């Protein structure tokens, strides 16, 4: 039986309350979270500067030794350049740049001479575009002072965090949501078994975060699906599957409508593997409008609003 997906007459009020809750959290905690990330980013930029002799000795070797510094280097140019823009300007493989930034590595399958040639192109492009108004010692050909280094690092860190602002806030919000679910479940007497169980060996009255569950694509190929929270009700019957909960938050209405197909694809994969009795719900906070809710309801997906977390009881918890 549906809990919220079949009650469109109350959606409008819930949407307004959810937006208010998200905005209050954002105004109270987002600036603090952003500042903490900026401090971390500043330290990473300072490391990058030391490794490159403050950009006075920047060669392919530094990129090879620490591929992850490429992100900070892209933010050190005038203007800062996007990943795809660097690929085009330097005429290098996109896979190389993606591996360096997203995996902090250079693929071992790429030939050594190809790697060297492409790293040389990247280094040359960064030096060509480097922002000498930030790294003032490059134009003056002086030894940078401590305050000059710190100032440059904070500017680049600001650019880094600006480029990553949405993921930073979204990750902080997700952690807060999961913490709230954990408190609620433990208040009901559930035991956290995160990292100690798989889907098949969960016991009634337990829950686990970040559980990997097998699903099937339309072509019947297996896919591993990360589930934010899996809870096996205290009164679960033999063979009953856990309730699966996906924590979702959004700071605007546009992004939710872009992402709404993700949940539909996920529950389709779960149903093909686990059968139609699989229970998969959303835990919502933020900007989710009637269009989003109607789409999820049509896919057979129900939800619980964070501001009414006690609705979890109606799912048998």
Q: Is the dihedral of CA 52, 53, 56, 57 positive or negative?
A: negative
Digitized pLDDT (tens) for each residue of the chain, 317 residues in all: 788 999 999 999 999 999 999 898 888 887 887 788 888 888 888 888 988 889 888 888 889 988 988 988 988 998 888 889 999 999 999 999 999 988 889 988 888 889 999 999 999 999 999 998 888 888 877 888 888 888 888 888 888 877 666 777 888 888 999 999 999 999 999 999 998 888 888 999 999 999 888 888 888 888 888 899 999 999 988 888 899 999 998 887 776 766 777 888 888 888 888 888 889 999 999 989 898 999 999 988 999 999 999 999 999 98
What is the total residue count of the chain?
317
Whether residue 23 is found in the same domain as residue 43: no
**Residue 253 domain-assigned?**
yes
Q: What is the pLDDT, as a whole number, of residue 243?
A: 93
Q: Last residue of a domain, which of 137, 165, 193?
A: 165
Does residue 2 lie within any of the structural domains? no
Cis peptide before 79 (omega within 30 of 0): yes
Q: Please tell me the distance from the alpha carbon of residue 286 to that of residue 45, in angstroms, as a whole number.
A: 33
Q: Is residue 73 part of a domain?
A: yes
Residues ≥6 apart with Cβ < 8 Å to 213: 199, 224, 225, 226, 227, 230, 244, 270, 273, 274
Give yes or no: residues 159 and 275 share one domain: no
- Which H helix or E strand runs over 225? strand 222-232
Q: Give the number of other CB atoms < 10 A from CB of residue 265.
A: 15
C-alpha span between 278 and 148 (Å, rounded): 58
Residue 3 lies in a domain: no
Q: Is the domain of 141 the same as that of 16?
A: no
Q: Does residue 156 belong to any structural domain of this protein?
A: yes
Specify whether 12 is located in the same domain as 70.
Answer: no
In this structure, the answer to whether residues 215 and 102 fall within a common structural domain is no
The pLDDT assigned to 258 comes to 67
CATH number at 262 reads: 3.40.1350
Which of 165, 200, 231 represents a domain boundary (last residue)? 165
Q: What whole-number distance in Å separates Cα of residue 14 and Cα of residue 303?
A: 12
**CA dist., res. 277 & res. 236, Å (int):** 13
Per the confidence metrics, is the pTM higher than 0.85?
no
State the Cα–Cα distance between residues 164 and 161, nearest whole angstrom: 5
- Last residue of one domain, picked from the residues 165, 188, 213: 165
Indicate whether 310 and 179 sit together in one domain: yes
Q: Are residues 186 and 223 in the same domain?
A: yes
Cα(191)–Cα(212) distance, rounded to whole angstroms? 18
Residue 146: C-alpha distances to residues 94, 108, 152, 155 (Å):
36, 38, 10, 14
Domain range for 201: 8-29+166-315
Looking at the structure, tell me whether residues 247 and 297 fall in a common domain.
yes
CB 285 within 8 A of CB 18: yes
Distance from chain centroid for Cα 108: 26
Long-range contacts of 205-211 (CB under 8 A, 24+ apart): 205/232, 205/233, 205/234, 206/231, 206/232, 207/182, 207/231, 207/232, 207/242, 209/178, 209/182
Q: How many domains does the chain contain in total?
A: 2
Q: Would residue 203 count as lying in a domain?
A: yes
Is residue 1 included in any domain, yes or no? no
Torsion sign over Cα 75, 78, 80, 83: negative
For residues 78 and 88, state if they share a domain: yes
Same domain flag for 193 and 281: yes
Asked if residue 72 and residue 144 are part of one domain, the reply reads yes
Q: What is the pLDDT of residue 34?
A: 78
Residues 87, 15, single domain; the answer is: no
Whether 208 is in a domain gets the answer yes
């Amino acid at each position: 039986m549906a809990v919220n997906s079949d009650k469109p007459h109350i959606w409008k009020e819930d949407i307004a309350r959810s937006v208010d809750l998200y905005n209050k959290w954002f105004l109270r905690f987002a600036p603090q979270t952003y500042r903490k990330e900026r401090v971390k980013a500043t330290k990473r930029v300072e490391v990058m500067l030391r490794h490159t002799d403050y950009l006075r000795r920047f060669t392919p070797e530094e990129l090879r030794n620490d591929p992850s510094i490429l992100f900070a280097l892209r933010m050190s140019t005038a203007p800062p350049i996007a990943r795809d823009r660097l690929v085009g300007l330097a005429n290098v493989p996109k896979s190389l740049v993606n591996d360096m930034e997203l995996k902090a590595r250079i693929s071992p399958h790429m030939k050594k001479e190809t790697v060297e040639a492409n790293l040389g192109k990247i280094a040359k492009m960064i030096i060509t575009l480097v922002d000498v108004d930030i790294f003032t010692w490059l134009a003056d050909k002086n030894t940078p002072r401590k305050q000059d280094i710190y100032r440059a690092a904070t500017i680049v860190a600001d650019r880094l965090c600006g480029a990553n602002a949405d993921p930073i806030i979204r990750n902080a919000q997700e952690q807060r949501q999961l913490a709230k679910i954990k408190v609620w479940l433990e208040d009901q007497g559930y035991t956290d078994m995160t990292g100690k169980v798989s889907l098949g060996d969960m016991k009634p009255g337990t829950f686990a975060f970040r559980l990997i569950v097998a699903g099937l694509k339309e072509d019947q190929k297996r896919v591993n699906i990360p589930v934010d929270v899996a809870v096996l009700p205290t009164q679960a019957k033999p063979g009953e599957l856990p309730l699966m909960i996906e924590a979702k938050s959004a700071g605007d209405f546009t992004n939710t409508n872009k992402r709404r197909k993700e949940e539909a694809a996920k529950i389709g994969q779960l149903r093909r593997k686990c059968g139609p009795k699989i229970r998969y719900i959303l835990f919502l906070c933020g900007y989710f409008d009637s269009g989003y809710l109607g789409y999820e309801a049509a896919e057979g997906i129900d939800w619980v609003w964070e501001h009414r977390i006690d609705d979890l009881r109606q799912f048998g918890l």
